[in-house]
Amino acid sequence: MNHLIKPLLQQSFRSQGVWLLIVALSLAICATTALKFSNGQIQQAILLQAAQLLGGDMAITDTKPIAAEYAQQARQQQLQQAQVTVFSSMVHTQDQFVMVSVKAIDQAFPLRGNLKIRPATRQIQVGEVWLSQRAQDLLHVKLGDAVFIADAEFKFTGIIEQDSNQETGFSGFSPTVIINQQDVARTHAIQAGSRIEYRLLLAGQPQAAQDYQHWFNLKNPHASDAQRDPANADNNLQLRTAKQGNTRLLKPLENLDTFLQLTNLLTILLCGVAIALSSRRYVQQTQDQIALLRCLGASQRQIIGAIMILLLIVMLIASGIGGVLGGLLGIGLLQLMLQFVPSLQIQIEVLGSILQPLPIGFLTSAIVLLGFIFPNIYQLLRTPPIRVIRQVPAFGRVYVWTFFTGLTSLILFSVLLTHAIQLTLLVLLSVCVVGLLMYGMLWLVLRAIKRSQSNWAIYVRVPSQTALQMTALALGISLISVLMVLRTDLLSRWQQQLPANTPNQFIYGLPPMDKPSFEQQLQRYGWGNTPLYPNVRGRLIAHNDQAFTPQQIEQNNSLRRELNLTQSASYPADNVITQGTAQLQKAGEVSVEEKTAESLGIRVGDRLTFALPEGELHAKVVNLRQVDWQSFSPNFFFIFAPKTLDENAGSYLASFYVPDQDKAKLLQLIQQHNTTVFIDVGMILEQIKHLLNVMVQIVTLLAVLVAVSGILVLLACLNLLMDERKKEVALMRAFGSSQAQIKNMLTREFAMMGLLSGLVACLFAEVISAIASSKLQLSLQLHVGLWLSLPVGMVILCALVGRYRLTYLTRISPLKSLREQS
């Protein structure tokens, strides 16, 4: 067999087809290994950051002391524990009084994250108090001074610079005061009717945490309520994981994970198309050599062995190159995540990062090679010896077999490596259906042009073959466009989530008598704010005059607690009416959040009954609303028409934006309204902004990766087109056509192909991006800019390629070109 391998290898590596095949396969391996290697670490970073903000892996919360059995079960699961008690109280000195959120901790706090205190480096002792910078400024105290919390005196020994357990409850954004757990009783701040939250923080091995969560859910099947906002905090027993406790922080990361999976899939798809086209060209260039070997006595078995060795060499080279590049790319992605989570414990070793993905690289190359090369290789093995004498038509069903084997390999790849089976099937099915429709449309258009006998008919050779090439070209360009479009949509969505002047301050508990003066001060300072919403506590007790059954109350959290009710002539800016009339026109009408309505079976026109301090209230449902609970604005389950509620029976809440340079003015405002709770969410905003900046870099890097894959498809298509044009240009030269005439012909022909391919690519991109947008929870939209730029860009690009990239064909001697073709 050695006498077959050497000439086959020499001939193969002289052709561009094999090298493009190696590049495409290397890129596929690079994308797979990088994302597979870094995805686990990125997920670890996400969970660690969430746990640091929660103070542990899980938190059990209740408005009454947590039963001892929960701590006992945690000890059996070998989980670490920390006790935390949070309540509101008045902190004061001899001259200053400030309403704050008090957090009492034990010696084990925090289980995750850091508690940075200046200058203290030890645990808090009995009789000591730590204050945030704002609390210190409001109280005008210095280290060592005496501070009073209700009836207890404390010594101020530390300033809080960084805290854990930030995103639990409305007051959890910025705990202002920290004391020792043993000091709670002597403050006498907790009385009947006090709003207090007890927390049991837990942390440990992932499996132990999962087992504990499973035990808790079995014991309390209706305790979990992850879909809640700060203004509608649940006061009942519940367990919240780190992920559930930080929905504002993690929602963009869910989109990033889907984007990672989509990038991997599209990269492999594009590389697969490039590989299929490159292998097709390789087959065309090698068939004559195989036919000659058959004439010289080589058996089909020997040829199979020689080709298998060639493919093995290609796979080894591509795996090595792709593995190294994938390892380096994975390190780059991890470095970006370390910018966001500097405390993440990741040991990055260059050699290990390169060697670890190699098995994945071999698996990827094997799957892709078998799927996209096998049909073409099968055709090559069936090359008859008579081809040495005369041309034999290509194996007609090779494209069909390439389609099915390629599709099968992509599904297999998804099952084994990405586990995104639903996304894979959805995208691949859409690509296949749209691709077939576009191919049929192009074939009909080209056939009509061919039969029209117009000037453009000479540019259409074989409609079916040209349509297939244009479809492949359009697919490559469209998949690049999909990632670019989705990247833009994601960035737009993230920027909308945190627009300029996003509220960084919350207030609640503002007395009705202070509302006019508070609004005047906000206007005088020029601080943008949401409306001041009245906040009245009430219970939903009946639906269409039928009281809820005990079973319904047990199953629905909204029925087991008091709700924050409000009334307003307008809705929060991010609310969207999904059913019913838009306006609340007269007293007694109510708007309901759509998920709450769905869980309770509430429809537009229904009658609801609420129990309020002053008696029962009956209201008619006029519309349902979609609410974005992740926004930094007050939101409500029920909004009533004006004059329905007695606003003096409750208090007011709102959010507003304070520039950094106005912090001193904010302190004055807080001192003037010392019975109102002010919550600073600036730290959470900064963390999300930093996260979004990192994700922008990751998304941009991945989009570039897909763009390179699409360029490979473009090159593969152009190589096939150049091979087909060699003989035609030689014949035209032989019959006396000038170089200028040939250049003009190629320019117009490729411009026409670019125009049709660009239009088809736009259709491709819109359909695939619409499907991906639904998975990323992005709004569907038509990308007008894409329709304007892509066809024009493709016309210019293809015209330039036809005029200048193929110019060398006009300089080849017609005799030499015809001999090569023979």
Would you say residue 628 has pLDDT above 60?
A: yes
463-497 and 739-775 are packed helices; what angle lies between their axes, rounded to 10 degrees?
A: 50
Of 560, 573, 574, 558, the residue nearest 638 (C-alpha):
558
Comparing 273-282, 352-361, 405-414, 797-806, the range with the smallest average pLDDT is 352-361
| Pairing of β 615-626 and β 152-162 | unpaired
Beta strands in 642-754 (DSSP E): 651-656, 677-680
In this prediction, residue 818 has a pLDDT band, given cuts at 50, 70 and 90, of low
State the DSSP code for 65.
P
Domain edges within the chain: 2-47+250-497+688-821, 57-241, 505-679
Q: How many CB atoms lie within 10 A of CB 84?
A: 27
Q: Which ranges of 414-538 does DSSP label H, i.e. alpha helix?
A: 421-451, 463-497, 515-525
Q: Read off the pLDDT of each residue in 749-760 and give the average, rounded to a whole number.
A: 83
* Beta bridge mates, 529: 656
**Between these two residues, 640 and 375, which has the higher pLDDT value?**
640
Helix (H) or strand (E) holding 180: strand 177-180
Which residue carries 């008091």 as its tokens? 562
Residue indicated by tokens 């780059």: 332
> What tens digit of pLDDT does each residue of 507-526 get?
888 899 999 999 999 989 88
Q: What pLDDT was estimated at residue 695? A: 65
Closest CA to 380 of 2, 809, 816, 15: 15
The most confident of 120-124, 380-384, 651-655, 814-818, by mean pLDDT: 651-655
Tokens of 524: 């005088």
Least confident of 253-257, 563-567, 816-820: 816-820
* DSSP summary character for residue 524: H
Please, which pLDDT band fits residue 71 given cuts at 50, 70 and 90?
very high
High-pLDDT (> 90) share of the chain, %: 13
> pLDDT tens across 722-741, in order?
666 666 777 777 767 777 77
CA–CA separation, 590 and 638 (whole Å): 7
With a cut of 50, say whether residue 396 has pLDDT above it: no
Confidence (pLDDT) at 233: 41
Contact status, residue 261 vs residue 427, Cβ threshold 8 Å:
no
Q: Which helix (H) or strand (E) holds 85?
A: strand 80-92
Cβ atoms of 455 and 738 within 8 Å: the answer is no
Around 779, how many Cα atoms within 13 Å sit in the side-chain half-sphere?
9
Strand pairing category for 615-626 and 80-92: unpaired
Range name among 30-44, 241-255, 258-272, 302-316 with the lowest pLDDT average: 241-255
Per-residue pLDDT, averaged over 430-441, amounts to 82
The count of C-alpha atoms lying within 13 angstroms of the C-alpha of 740, restricted to the half-sphere facing its C-beta, is: 0
Please say if the pLDDT value at position 370 is more than 90: no
Q: Which position has the higher pLDDT, 672 or 358?
A: 672
Sorted by sequence, the CB contacts under 8 Å of residue 707 that are 6+ apart come out as 480, 483, 484
Candidate ranges 451-455, 456-460, 471-475, 772-776; pick with highest mean pLDDT: 471-475
Task: Find which of 76-85, 108-117, 159-168, 623-632 is predicted with most confidence, using mean pLDDT.
Answer: 76-85
In sequence order, what are the residues at sequence separation of 6 or more whose Cβ sits closer than 8 angstroms to the Cβ of residue 104? Answer: 84, 85, 86, 178, 179, 180, 181, 183, 184
Residue 106 is predicted with a pLDDT of 92
Give residue 244's pLDDT: 64
| Per-residue pLDDT reduced to its tens digit, 532-575 | 999 898 999 999 989 988 888 877 777 877 888 999 988 887 78
Q: From CA 563, how far away is CA 545, in angstroms rounded?
A: 19
* Number of neighbours of residue 696 by Cβ within 10 angstroms: 16
Amino acid 220: pLDDT: 80
Residue 711's CB is within 10 A of a number of other CB atoms, namely: 16
How does the average pLDDT of the chain come out, rounded? 77
Residue at 643: amino acid letter: K
DSSP state for residue 641 in the 8-state scheme: P
Cβ atoms of 508 and 677 within 8 Å: the answer is: yes
Distance CA 322, CA 546 (A): 66
| Contact (CB, 8 A) for 713 and 515 | no
Reduced to 3 states, what is the DSSP secondary structure of residue 803?
helix
Is pLDDT at 5 greater than 50 in this prediction? yes
Average pLDDT over residues 345-358: 56
